[in-house]
Each structure stands twice: as C-alpha cells, then as structure tokens.
Amino acid sequence: MGELGMDLDLFEKAGMGLCCCNADGRIISINDRAFSLLSLNGQFKKNNDVLNTCLFDYIGHFRSLFENYNTKSANELEIKINDSGNTAKYLKTSLLNAAENEYILVIDDISELKNIKKLYLESEEKLRTMLEVIPDIVYRVDTNGSITFISESVSRYGYKQEELIGTSILDLVHPDDREMARNRILERRTGNRMTRFFEVRLMTKSKEILNVSFDSESGKDSHFFSVCSEGVYRYNGENEKIYIGTQGVYSDIQDKKQFERSLRRSEEKWISVMESIEDGYYEADIKGRILYVNRALSEKLGYPKEEIIGSPFEKFVDPEEKESVYSFFNKVYKSGKLSMLKNWTGVAKSGKKIYLEGSVSLIKTKTEGMAFFNGILRDISDKKKMEQELLMARKLEAIGILAGGIAHDYNNALTAIIGNLSLARMEIDPKNIELIDTLNDAEKAALKVKELTHQLSTFSKGGKPVKKNTDMKLLISNICDPLLKGAPCKCVLNISSNLWMVEVDEFQIGHVLEYIITNALEAMDYGGMLKIAAMNIQVENEEMHNGISLQEGRYVQIIIEDSGRGIDRDDLNRIFDPYFTTKDMGSGMGLAISYAIVKRHKGYIDINSIKDKGTTVSLYLPVTA
C-alpha cells in the first residue's frame, strides 16, 4: 500500500477482494480476500509470496482490462475461474486508477447471484411447461367474468387462445346453463351460498356439448372429486337457519389436484429461495407498483412488506434520480432485454440513502399476454464508501508527499522575508505612512502564505499528532467561547458534563473544531441557529451510527449543526478533496485538513447537508482504554 499506512488495516479487513498493481500487472499488495477469490492459494502458501509477480501470469483476462483502461467508462469485467477444488466460480471485477502507474482491482464473488438467477429461470420454465402439458382447461377471469387467461388445452375443443381472451366465460357455457352459471358466479361474489363445486355444460366451437367440472374453491388435501354440492338446511321454531349436512354429486378430479399441489410446491420452493438470499428481489407491474419484495429488500428499506407491496417504485428512489430510473425502466420495457441498473440511490423509511446496483428484467407471460418487471438489488453502500475512502487516502497521500518536500523550505524563506520586513519597518521614517502601509500589507501576505504552508505540513510526516489525555469538555469550551462572542445567530450548546477523556493532539483537534464552527457561522451571516452538542456513545460490535460504520468501542461524538446556506448535492461528494472550495477567497484545504487530522486520530467525520436548509457535521473520536 505504499506509504498509506493508516489504511493498511482497512485494506486487509475489507469484505471484498482488493489487489494493488502497477500498469504492467505487477502485484504491489493484495489482501487475503483477493488472494482467496483469485484461487492463488492453490499456488502460493500466503499472499506475501505473490508480491512482485505479474497478475496476468495467473489470470490472463486482466491484461486487456489494464491495457484498455478508460477513465470515462466503468472498467469492469466478469470472469469465470476454477478454485483449487476445480469448482467454477464467477467474479465481478472493477479497476480503479488510484495514483500514477498504480491501480486497485476490486473483486467481488457473484457466484451466488448467478446461481439464484439460474434457479429462478429454471423455476419459471418449469411452471410454463406444466401449464402447456396438462390436459385440463386452466382459466382466469376478472371481476366482470371476462377471460384474462386460458390454457392451450382449450384448442382441443376447437378454440384458439387469442380469440377467447377478453370474452365472457359465459360465452363458452351452453345457453341453457348460463343463468345457473351466472348465479353461481354471483354467489361467490356475495358469499350468500357455500357451494364449493358446480357442473355445467360447455360448448365446443362446433357446438358439441361437453360436461366439464369447475373447481371454484380449494378443498382438503386428500383424494379430490368434482362435487356438485350445496348446503342442506332446516329451520327451527324461531325461523333460524341451521346447517345439518351436505348433499351433491362427485366426480374424480385427482389428476387436476395433483397438478395444483405440484404447482404450489414449485411456487413455495421459489419463494423459499427468494426469502433466503441476502440480496434484495422485487417484482413490479408495468405501471411501477410493487407486487412482491423478499425479506432482504424489506429489511434494507426498513418497511414491513405490507407497506411496500402496492406502493409505487418511485417512493423508494432518491427524488433527484426518479426521472432517470423511470427512463431506465421504460428502456427495458421497450427493448425487453435484461439490463443492469448501476449506482442508483434508494431511500429507506428512516430517510437514509442506500446505494444500490442490480438487474431489471421484463417478464412477459406467453399465454396471459401480461408483463411485469423483476430483478435483484444489491446494497453497495459499503463498497462505495470503501472506494471513496481509498481514493481520498491516495489524494491525501499525494498532498502529503508534496507538503513534506516544500514546507520546510517555504518556512525558512518566509521567516527571512518576515524578519527583513520587520527590520525595514524599524529603519524607515515613522512619518512615511504610505511606505509603512506597504510593508504591513507585504507582511500580512507573507503571514497568510506561512499559515497555508503550516496547513500543508499537516499532511506531511511533520503533521503526525502529538497525543495526550484531554478533557474534551474543556477543549470544546475553549474553542467555542471566543468564536461565539458576538455571533450573528442564536447559539445552543449541549455538552455532556461527564465527557470521557480522549487521547488527542489538542492543537490539531482544536483546529478542526475552530474551522468547522467558523464555517457554520459564515454560512449564517444573516442569522440562524447554531447547535453544538457533545456526548459519549458506546458501540457494541460493529454497527451503523448515523450512516457511519463504527468499529466496536467507546467514542466521544461531537455534532455541529447550522441552519445556513447548506451545500449542493453535487458538491457534497467533493468537499474533502484538497483545493476544492465554493468560497471566493477559500484555499480549499480546510475540510481536507480536518479529514486528515480526524483520520490520523483513528476517528470518523461525516457531513450531511441540504441546500438552503443547513449542514450537520458529526465527529467521532475513539476513547482509549
């Protein structure tokens, strides 16, 4: 990992495979996960043994990925390899340009996703085959009695499927039986009678009469008969209706019930598979209403299933991406082709944003003429955060190398300049106000450059924190008191009285707090509300806290919240970049320095902002035992 020592633990413990190589495929570093996924453990005992060898020698697919690297494309590749036991596995890889002549290969195992898709397609084909081969007429009607589906077996009676779709089911019934059939249908709509089965005569297209049994409700799981049955009742002296038994005619429909059981088992098997996977699965109609979601997707969104099903898909999409997601689904609808939806943002019930990628398919049933969307969604929030952390670390490392090379020389030169300006001021006539003002302006400019040089040195090895046990309540108070005097806004402080001691560099952490509070005040130059809070938090195992994945342990959390101008959504992804600023006179180093300082304290910093509503900055500083 070069000089990126502070990220070595992150690199090694990543849940995905990470391999750092130069442009020629020479391996610089590789974590255990990548070593295992690439099946290098079959050739080497440990991952250090593979360093300085060429990745292309083991997996030739990667040569073209490196040679054709394009900063404007996804640079992704799916490959199939065999592990040491000769079992095939599928890997999805993406290539990132981390620094000059240095790339990071991100590797993810998608074998389970491939197998799930295969199982799903096999289940769909099985259901379709069953419907095509059974001899019984399988039908479906809507609330008006119009046929929406009828199986291929109806062709044995002279009809074509397509000519019956949309017609009334009563059109197939013998004219003498239509009134009775209509009444039976009404009974089922009103619930006035409990007839389970009834028998009517159907007409072939050539007007021949058929006796066919219709099953209108499920029976018990035993040998089945078609029953023309009705309840038998008597009335007591108070004219109360009392059920005393059932009468009817039975005909054997065991074959049909056997098929229904098989169909039900197939559906239960499919649902069981979908409910057991960790990736989200969904189905939606062509209008975007959710028809089904599995357990995993329900949990990711934070809604119970009953709140999701029937809701519009857009309810769970970031408002700024609704139009693009709608266009994507419309494109799939027109092409009918499976497509991958990459890097889109979902919104959980809590308001938390979830970064997702997944598939979108259009399923068209052969016989019903119906269509719906389905697909699998994978939460890539951790992966996205990891990529951002790695890229940010590389940027900071580059600035650190630059700062380490020039900060010392700059300081020496600036010291000489400032000293000579002071001597010059002593030698000139005190009445020469114009010359004195010129010297003062020159000294101010030199001091400003000296401050910028000091900021740059924070990135170099000289910026390593000098830690000591610190009373955080006192440190926060010492920073806030002078800054908040005469502030143009209302200030509310809520500092816990028993804040834990934290081992920090007081000067560096004080600089971070001063910069963030100053930023908040500048964002509210016309008034507003500034809230500063500090509290102790205990993290059990590894858990999410306000969208940040915190390691197990104790932390002091500091929250600085303003109601100022806020930050544009597009700018939020760049606020920690060195030299990026939205201020006319800003250097673009403040937040980058703050990020570096907090990271060197093994802490976390997170910023959430809404344009024209305000910004919240959260700091998490680990408490040493």
pLDDT of residue 612: 85
pLDDT of residue 222: 31
Question: What integer best gives the mean pLDDT of the chain?
Answer: 77
Distance CA 80, CA 115 (A): 13
Render pLDDT for 150-192 as a digit per residue (tens, 0 to 9): 777 778 778 888 898 888 877 877 788 788 777 766 664 444 5
Distance CA 320, CA 330 (A): 17
Give the DSSP letter of residue 151: -
Least confident of 56-65, 498-507, 530-539: 56-65
Location of structure tokens 């009445």? 431
Distance CA 136, CA 147 (A): 16
The DSSP secondary structure of 556-601, one letter per residue, reads EEEEEEE-SS---HHHHTTTTSTT--SSSS--S-HHHHHHHHHHHT
Three-class SS state of 317: strand
Distance CA 133, CA 623 (A): 69
Confidence of residue 261 (pLDDT cuts 50, 70, 90): low
Give the DSSP letter of residue 84: T
Is 596 in contact with 580 (CB distance < 8 Å)?
no
The DSSP secondary structure of 154-189, one letter per residue, reads GGGGT--HHHHTTSBGGGGB-GGGHHHHHHHHHHHH
List own/partner pairs for 344-350 with CB under 8 A and 24 or more apart: 344/317, 344/318, 345/317, 345/318, 345/320, 345/321, 346/300, 346/301, 346/316, 346/317, 346/318, 346/377, 347/316, 347/317, 347/318, 348/300, 348/301, 348/302, 349/301, 349/302, 349/303, 350/302
Distance CA 39, CA 83 (A): 5
Tell me which H or E stretch contains 413.
helix 381-427
pLDDT at 542 over 70: no
Is 567 in contact with 609 (CB distance < 8 Å)?
yes
Which residues are CB-neighbours of 311 under 8 A, at least 6 positions away?
Answer: 289, 290
Cα pseudo-dihedral 163, 166, 170, 175, rounded to 10: -50
pLDDT at 290 over 80: yes
Q: What angle do CA 86, 91, 94 make, to 5 degrees?
A: 150
Between the alpha carbon of residue 374 and those of residues 289, 335, 514, the distances in Å are 11, 15, 51
Q: Which residues make beta-bridge pairs with 491?
A: 530
pLDDT of residue 420: 82
Least confident of 12-21, 131-140, 478-487: 131-140
pLDDT at 580 over 70: no
Give the DSSP letter of residue 26: B
pLDDT of residue 624: 75
pLDDT of residue 118: 84
Three-class SS state of 92: strand
Confidence of residue 534 (pLDDT cuts 50, 70, 90): very high
List the one residue out of 575, 601, 106 whose CA is nearest residue 382: 106
Q: How far apart, in Å, do the first and last CA atoms of the chain sit?
A: 29
Which residues are CB-neighbours of 399 under 8 A, at least 6 positions away?
Answer: 456, 459, 578, 592
Q: In one letter, which amino acid is 76?
A: E
Distance CA 464, CA 466 (A): 7
Range(s) for CATH 3.30.450.20 in the chain? 5-109, 130-261, 277-379
Least confident of 221-235, 419-433, 468-482: 221-235
The DSSP secondary structure of 342-390, one letter per residue, reads EEEEEE-TTS-EEEEEEEEEEEE-TTT--EEEEEEEEE-HHHHHHHHHH
Render pLDDT for 426-454 as a digit per residue (tens, 0 to 9): 888 878 888 888 888 888 877 777 766 66
Could you name the CATH architecture of 130-261?
2-Layer Sandwich (3.30)
Q: Tokens for 50? A: 């593979």
CATH number of this structure's domain 5-109, picked from the four choices 3.30.450.20, 3.40.50.970, 3.40.50.2300, 3.20.20.20: 3.30.450.20
Distance CA 284, CA 375 (A): 9
Distance CA 596, CA 577 (A): 11
List the one residue out of 191, 202, 111 whose CA is nearest residue 150: 202
Q: What angle do CA 298, 300, 304 make, to 5 degrees?
A: 30
Count of C-beta atoms within a 10 Å radius of residue 50: 22
- What's the CATH code, domain 385-461? 1.10.287
Render pLDDT for 329-386 as a digit per residue (tens, 0 to 9): 899 888 888 888 888 888 888 888 888 888 898 888 765 567 889 888 888 877 877 7
pLDDT at 410 over 80: no
Render pLDDT for 325-336 as a digit per residue (tens, 0 to 9): 888 889 988 888
Three-class SS state of 224: coil
pLDDT of residue 127: 58
Give the mean model confidence (pLDDT) for residues 304-314.
91
pLDDT of residue 23: 85
pLDDT of residue 476: 93
Q: In one letter, which amino acid is 372?
A: F
User: How many Å is the Cα radius of gyration of the chain?
Assistant: 36
Confidence of residue 231 (pLDDT cuts 50, 70, 90): very low
Give the DSSP letter of residue 416: H
Give the mean model confidence (pLDDT) for residues 498-526.
90
Give the mean model confidence (pLDDT) for residues 49-70.
84
Q: What is the torsional sign of CA 255, 260, 261, 263?
A: positive
pLDDT at 391 over 60: yes
465-622 fold = Heat Shock Protein 90 (3.30.565)
Between the alpha carbon of residue 225 and those of residues 151, 194, 246, 354, 443, the distances in Å are 21, 17, 14, 52, 103
What's the order of all strands across the beta sheet hosting 76-82?
27-30, 17-21, 102-109, 88-99, 76-82
Give the mean model confidence (pLDDT) for residues 66-74.
73
Pairing of strands 548-550, 553-562: unpaired
Give the mean model confidence (pLDDT) for residues 117-135.
73
Which residues are CB-neighbours of 329 under 8 A, at least 6 positions away?
Answer: 288, 313, 360, 373
Between the alpha carbon of residue 80 and those of residues 35, 77, 265, the distances in Å are 16, 10, 33
List the one residue out of 214, 225, 220, 158 whose CA is nearest residue 187: 214
Render pLDDT for 25-36 as a digit per residue (tens, 0 to 9): 898 888 888 888
Percent of the chain residues past pLDDT 90, beyond the cut: 12
pLDDT at 494 over 90: yes
**pTM of the predicted model, to two decimals?**
0.43
277-379 fold = Beta-Lactamase (3.30.450)
Is 244 in contact with 234 (CB distance < 8 Å)?
yes
